[in-house]
Amino acid sequence: MPKPLDAIDRRILRILQEDGRLTNVELADRVGLSPSPCLRRVKRLEEEGIIKGYRAVLDRRAVSLGLTIFTEIKVDRHTRANADALQKALEAIPEVVSCHMVSGAPDFIAEIVVPDLAAYEALLTNVLLELPMVEDIKSNFSMRAVKTDGPLPLSPD
């Protein structure tokens, strides 16, 4: 069971969400700890799964992935097996960069990133519509990103 987060843990997490490439010495200085206790805390946060990993956030257009689609997917014949099968299928599609099971009209909302409309059409017709557990799909095209990859709103110190 994870240890409850104290003010220093939350400060560490807020700072690492802003810049995960800080050295331990830089992080310790910003948090107000010496390097050894700071490193112990970061390692504990990693081991407890609170810090899930570190990654580079890429500019989608710069890597030729300029079209983002939020795809609403409805499961055919609402059974756990169909929902599980659809979830597994969506997890395996590289163009699906995030996916949520939701309440409401669709059962899943998938964020899909592709180079252009032709690539999405191919994915839709050759992959998504071929899934036997899919009843309906609605596509919502992003005109412009307003806020992405924001830090989690951790409680204040």
Which pLDDT score, from 0 to 100, does residue 157 have? 63
Domain boundaries, given as residue ranges, for the chain? 7-47, 61-141
Picking from 43-52, 60-69, 112-121, 146-155, which range would have the lowest pLDDT averaged per residue?
146-155
Chain-centroid distance of CA 136 in Å reads 24
Q: Which CATH architecture fits 7-47?
A: Orthogonal Bundle (1.10)
d(CA 91, CA 98): 9
Beta bridge partners of residue 140, listed in sequence order: 70
pTM here is 0.87
CATH T-level fold of 61-141: Alpha-Beta Plaits (3.30.70)
- At 36-53, the pLDDT tens digits run 999 999 999 999 999 999
Predicted confidence band of residue 2 (pLDDT cuts 50, 70, 90): confident
